[in-house]
Structure 1
Amino acid sequence: MKDPILVPYLIRRTTMTSPRQWWRRAAAAVKDKRSLCLARVAGGPARDAEMEAAVIRATSHDEGAVDYASAARVFAWARASPAFLRPLMRAVSRRAGRTRCWAVALKALMLAHGLLLRSDAAPPRASLGRLPFDLSDFRDRSAHPRAMSAPFSAFVRAYFAFLDHRSLFAAHLDQPHPNPNPNDGDGDGDGDDALLDRIQKLQILLDLLMQIRPYADGMEVGLVLEAMDCVAVEIFEVYSEICDGIARFLVGILSSSSSSSSSSSSDHPRED
């Protein structure tokens, strides 16, 4: 799957007309510069500081654009080595945990989404596990009046709810199971139970994905549409996994029935 933040979608910049909007944009730029300065002077390895700076640039307060170069840098580190996944996620967590701006929160979630996708292919020791931040009660405080940003806050909360459950689901799959392959064994024991449990969890994920949608008019902005592109891809993939799981379960049931019929016939030979 492609990295969510790298979807080549054209984002339109809105024209700042009122003084209030101009000051909001200037204040947001100052906040980003301050965060970058703090990342440079903070102690720790130089690589961690570079990762922190890239995450800050990729999750800027600008509601009209995404810094694709910085986002690409983040995902390049994630692809380079599984060992970079956790430092990158910690940087995203710090950014998401401090913000009260829906644009920053949404960009952070898209970065986290991409890192979780990389974590799926990583060794169990390097997997990320559950998201290390909580946006379940997120409220945007950057817009005036606040009611204008309420739909964006709801969008962020819905996106987080899906990613949080997705990360828990992935962590559950990393745990050892007595019979992880439902096609092994008799086809009707722990394998079937594990398969049905997986299908149920996938259905929950699909329900959460369907909750990620624009909640009001006026949300047709590039950043939201780009996030919806990521959501649409996940919907098709999760739905495909559900269909595949149901098909495997039905095949197992039919195979078990055929085996039982054959065994019953052999136990009662035909008399001449």
Structure 2
Amino acid sequence: MPAYQQIRYDLTDRVATITLDRPAARNGYTLRMAQELLDAFAHADADEEVRVVVLTGSGRDFCVGADLSGGGFEVDGVGEEDLPSLELEPAGSVTARMFAMNKPVIAALNGASVGAGATVPLGADFRLAAHDSRFGFPFTRRGIVPEGGSSWFLPRLVGLSTALDWTLTGRVFGAEEALRSGLLHGVHEPDGLIDAAYALAHEIADRTAPVAVAITRQMIYRLSSLDSPDRAHQLETQLVRLLTLSPDAVEGVTSFLERRPPKFPGRIDDGLPDFLPWAGDQ
């Protein structure tokens, strides 16, 4: 892994933590930060020791959006040679990689999550926040449009009406509104936020099969928007026929009957069926 300058990467007990780490700048989003995030998510996805990723921010805020200290938006450029290049705009490059993950991602959002700080977490599977958190998609107030794939993610999470409200007005809103609208999965006391994120991470890491989680995650994202359930039925039938005969299924049943924690032997690197429609998309 390269030496990160604007994020931190830690791995403990099968949970990787990626932390935005520019607290003096309130974790203002930069091209380099996007490149480092892209690299960190790719590393976590390829590491069989990682079951879940927690994304959070250091200091009082998760991220206040693009770093405007240079007087404008920095969205183009070759970036740093020691890091992956960005094929899309900086926030979208990261959410696209998050979408392709085989590992679940939990965003723990403290303080302000505005601009890229609001759009990047849309690529996570779970979003938890502190009671005093604030959110905003202020792009129209800056003369630009929402990024990070938010025109696809946000309406699916909160509905068309709320997505239009938040993006057209660009207003800032609180954690309770975000929770009511479905943006958040839970709201916690500030000093309990990261513990709640890790508790959820271990609910997955300690009790579920990595191959089954990887496939299920992509099934939900990719099949739920189809205009009929026919393709879902076909793929589920293929997978059920295959996976019910797998060592993971044997361990799942045996551990349940023996009332003990499971120890699933399956690995993502060689355990994903080659007929998955999204194979090779990463």
Same fold (TM over 0.5): no
Asked which structure has the greater RCO (Cα within 8 Å, sep 6+), the reply is: 1
Give the structure with the larger helix fraction.
1
Give the structure with the larger strand fraction.
2
With structure 2 as the length reference, what TM-score do the two structures score?
A: 0.31
| CA radius of gyration, larger in | 1
